[in-house]
Structure 1
Amino acid sequence: MTGSTQVPYLLRAARGEVLDRPPVWMMRQAGRYMKAYRDLRDKYPSFRDRSERPDVAIEISLQPWKAFQPDGVILFSDIVTPLPALGIEMDIAEGKGPIIESPIRTQEQVDQLHPLEPQESLPFIQEILKALRQEVGNQSTVLGFVGAPWTLAAYAVEGKGSKTYSVIKGMAFSEPAILHQLLGKLADAIAVYVRYQIDSGAQVVQMFDSWAGQLSPQDYETFALPYQQRVVKQVKETHPDTPLILLVSGSAGVLERMAHSGVDIVSLDWTVDMAEARQRLGWDMKVQGNMDPGVLFGSQEFIRDRVLDTIRKAGNRGHIFNLGHGVLPGTPEDNVRFFFETAKQADKLLTVHA
C-alpha cells in the first residue's frame, strides 16, 4: 500500500478528502447492547473498574472492532473520569450515571481545585490508548474523548444528571463569577487531558458538551462557547493537526455557534436534517452524524433507507457517518452489524437506489 491508502479512512474524511463512502463508527458502540459487554459487566460490576483497569477497558473498547470493523475505535471511558484528579470525588452508578459526593457550590470549593497531572492520576488512559493504537494499526482510527467545561461543570454543580439544570443555572444567573472561575479551571484541565490523550495514541478527540443544548443561545455564548474555544485554542497550539470533534445534544438551535468553537468537525444530532445542517454550516465545515439511534429498532429495509438518505445528503467530502447520539441499550446487535455493512457499501447501494 502506498500514499493515502495507509492513512485510516476516518482521518482522510477529517482532512476533507473526497471519498467513495464516509467512514463510520458509532457513539457508545462499546456497551450495553452487546452481549460480550454484558458478560464482562457481570464479572466487573463497577463501571470505574471496567473503565480504569487497562486490561478490561482495552477488551471492551475492542469488542465492537472485532465484531463490526468500524472505521473508528473509541476509548472506553467516561467524561467524568478526570474529575477525581482535580479534587472532585465521584462514582458512576449503573444505569444512573455520575454521582458527585460533594457538589461544587461555593467559591471556597472552586479555590480548592487543583490542576490536572494526568501522568500521575490517569496513567491507565495512556496504557489503554497505546494498546488500541497497536491493535488496530492503520485499519481504523483511534478516538479519545473528553467532556466539555459546561457539561462537566453541570455534573460537578448539580451532583448528578438533571432534567432542569436549575442548580447550575441558578449559579450562572446569580453568582456568575464563581461559575466562570470553575469553567476556566475545567477548560484548562480538559486541554491538558486532550493533549495527554493525543500523546498517548488518540488520533482524533471528541469533546462532549452533552448538556450545552439546555442553554439558550445567548447563555451558550456566555457559559459554553468561550470555554470550548479555550480548550480548542490550547490544544491547537501544541497539536494543530489532530482533528477535534464537538458534540452538543439538542444542538439544532446552536449549530452555527458550535462551528465558532474552533473544532474541525461538528457532530450533529438527529433534531436537524443533514441537508439543512450542511447548508447552515457551509460545506467547508466537516460534519459527523446524524441518524436517530431509534432507527436501529426498525426493519433492515428502513435502516438501509435512513443510512443512505443521511449519506446522500451529507455528500462525499468531510462527513463521518454516525448516530446522532449513543447506541441505545436493547438495540439488536444484528441491526448494528447491518448499519455498519450498509454504510461500508454505501457507494454501491447509492448507485442502485439512485
Structure 2
Amino acid sequence: MTGLDQVPYLLRAARKEPLDRPPVWMMRQAGRYMKVYRDLRDKYPSFRERSENADLAIEISLQPWRAFKPDGVILFSDILTPLTGMGIPFDIIESKGPIIEPAIRTREQIDQVRTLDPEESLPYIRTILQTLRQEVGNEAAVLGFVGAPWTLAAYAVEGKGSKTYSVIKGMAFSEPDMLHTLLGKLADNIAAYVRYQIDCGAQVVQMFDSWAGQLSPMDYRTFALPYQQRVVQQVKATHPDTPMILYISGSAGVLELMGESGVDIVSVDWTVDMADARRRLGPDIGVQGNVDPAALFGAKPFIRDRILDTIRKAGNRGHILNLGHGILPGTPEDNAAYFFETAKQVDQLMACA
C-alpha cells in the first residue's frame, strides 16, 4: 500500500490531485430519510439530546457510513450548537425548527454575548469526532461543520426561521454598527469552534451560510463576506492545511463572492450549472456538488445520467460529488444507495459511455 492510499480519498480531492472518480458524500446524509434514524428518533425525540449525547451522535453519524460507505462522514450536530456556550439559549422543535428566546434585538444583549470556550461548553464534540476517526480510519474523511456569522446572527435576531428576513435586514439597514458588533463576536467564536473541531479530529470543515443567499451582492459584501473571511483567516493562521468548504443555498448571484472568502472549496447548489460554476470560480478553487436532491426521486437511469453530467462538467481535479443541498426527507433509501454505488463506479461508466 502506497502513502497515497493512506490518505482519505476526499482529502486527495481537496488537495486537487487528479483522480479517477470524485469522492462522494451527501449533506444531511445522517437523517430522517433513513429508517434506522427514524427508529432512533422515536426513542429519543429531542434533537438536542440526539446531537449532544455523544453516544447517540456517534451512532447517527455512522448510520450512513454503515449503509453506504461514503467518502466523507460528517459530525451529526446543528449549526446552532455553539450558541449556548455564547450565552444564547435555543431549542429545536420537531417540525418547527430552531427557536431562540429571547431573540437578540438590543445592544445590551449583544454586549452580553460571551466568548466561546468549546472545551468547556462542548466537550462531547471531542468524544464524537475522536470516535468517528477511530471508526472510519483512513477509509473516509471525517468532516466537521459550523454555521457562518451572518446565518447564526439571522437565527439569533429573528428568533426562528424566516421567509422574509425582515428583522435581521431591518437591523442591518437601520443599525448596522450594532449588527457588525454581533457579527464580529460570532466570527471570532466560530473560528475558535472550527479550530476546536480540527483539534478533536475533523479533517475537513464545512461552513454553512445558509441564509446569505437572501442577501443582495452589495449586502453580501457588507454583512456576510467580511465575516466569512474573518473565520477563514483565523483558522488558516493555526491550521493552514485543513480544507474548508463554504455552502450557501441560493448562491447563484454571489458565487464569485463565495470564492473570495478564502475557503478551499465552494459547495455549489443545483441552480448553477457545474461547468458555469467552474468557469466563474476559476481553477484555484475546488467545487462540491451539485446534483439536485429531488433527482433522487427519479428513475435510476436518470440519477445515473445526472451524476455523470455533473462529473463531466466538474472535471477530474478538485471536485467532491454531493447534492446541491441536503438529501430530502422521503428520499427512497434504495436511490440513496444507488447514488453512492454509481459515484464509486463512475470511472467504469465513463469508459463505457
Smaller-chain TM-score bracket: over 0.9
Structure 2: distance between partners of 1:5 and 1:159: 47
- 2: distance between equivalents of 1:349 and 1:2? 26
Number of positions where the alignment pairs a residue of Structure 1 with one of Structure 2: 353
- What is the identity, as a one-letter code, of the residue corresponding to 1:315? G
Could you tell me which residue of structure 2 aligns to residue 77 of structure 1?
A: 77
Residue deviations 1:22-74, cap 9 Å, x none?
00000000000000000000010000000000000000000000000000000
Counterpart amino acid of residue 136 in structure 1:
V
Structure 1 segment 51-62 matched on structure 2, within 5 A: 51-62=51-62
| 1:92 alignment partner in structure 2 | 92
Instruction: For residues 216-259 of structure 1, give each alpha carbon's deviation from its aligned partner in whole angstroms, at most 9, with x where no partner exists.
Output: 00000000000000000000000000000000110011011000
Match of 1:332 in 2: 332
Deviation at 1:97, TM superposition (A): 1.6
- Aligned partner of 1:249 in structure 2 is 249
Matching residue's letter, 2:94: E
Aligned counterpart, 1:103 = 103
C-alpha separation in 2, matches of 1:21 and 1:14: 13
Q: Paired residue for 1:145?
A: 145
For residues 178 and 311 of structure 1, the distance between their equivalents in structure 2, rounded to whole angstroms, comes to: 44
Distance 1:127 1:102 in 2: 31
Q: How many angstroms apart in 2 are the aligned matches of 1:210 and 1:195?
A: 21
Query: Structure 2 CA distance, aligned partners of 1:238 and 1:199?
Result: 10
Q: Which residue of 2 aligns with 1:238?
A: 238
Alpha-carbon distance in structure 2 between the residues aligned to 1:170 and 1:296 = 38
Shift of 1:350: 1.2
Match status 1:163 vs 2:173: no
**Deviation, structure 1 residue 2:** 1.7
> Deviations 1:184-207 (Å, cap 9, x if unpaired)?
000000000000000000000000
Match of 1:305, as an amino acid?
Answer: D
**What residue in structure 2 maps to residue 18 of structure 1?**
18
Q: Which residue of the partner structure matches residue 180 of structure 1?
A: 180
C-alpha displacement at 1:96, in angstroms? 2.0
1:121 aligns with 2:100: no
Shift of 1:277: 0.5
Query: Which residue in the other structure is 2:273 paired with?
Result: 273
Q: C-alpha distance in 1, partners of 2:87/2:175?
A: 21
> TM-score with structure 2 length normalisation?
1.00
Letter in 2 for 1:236: K
Q: Deviations over 1:52-109 (max 9, x none)?
A: 0000000000000000000000000000000011011000111222100110000000
Deviation digits for residues 130-162 of structure 1 (CA, Å, limit 9, x no counterpart): 000000000000000000000000000000010
The residue type equivalent to 2:286 in the other structure is K
Q: Which runs of 4+ in 1 moved over 4 A?
A: none
Aligned with 1:23: secondary structure? coil
Equivalent residues in 2 for 1:340-351 (5 A)?
A: 340-351=340-351
Structure 1 residues without counterparts, runs of 5 or longer: none
Instruction: Name the CA distance, whole Å, in 2 between partners of 1:111 and 1:284.
Output: 39
Q: What is the aligned partner in structure 1 of residue 192 from structure 2?
A: 192
Which residue number in structure 2 is paired with residue 31 of structure 1?
Answer: 31
- Partner amino acid for 2:71? D
For structure 1, which segment, 139-148 or 92-101, has the greater mean C-alpha deviation from structure 2 after superposition? 92-101
What TM-score results when the alignment is normalised by the length of structure 1? 0.99
1:122 positional shift: 0.2
Deviation at 1:215, TM superposition (A): 0.1
1-side partners of 2:124 and 2:177: how far apart?
35
Instruction: State the identity %.
Output: 78
Alignment deviations for residues 251-283 of structure 1 (CA, whole Å, 9 cap, x no partner)? 011011000000000000001000011011112
Residue type at the aligned position of 1:229: Q
Match of 1:309, SS?
A: helix
TM-fit CA distance, 1:285: 1.1
How far residue 3 of structure 1 moved from its aligned partner, in angstroms, is 1.6
Q: Distance in 1 between matches of 2:350 and 2:184?
A: 46
Corresponding residue number in structure 1 for 2:211: 211
Tell me, in whole angstroms, the C-alpha distance in 2 between the residues paired with 1:307 and 1:268: 14
* Aligned Cα root-mean-square deviation (Å): 0.5
SS of alignment partner, residue 341 of structure 2: helix
Paired residue type of 2:339: F
Once the 2 structures are TM-superposed, how far is the Cα of residue 171 of structure 1 from its aligned partner? 0.1
Of residues 167-176 and 276-285 in structure 1, the stretch that sits farther from structure 2 once superposed is 276-285
1:82 is paired with a residue of what secondary structure? helix
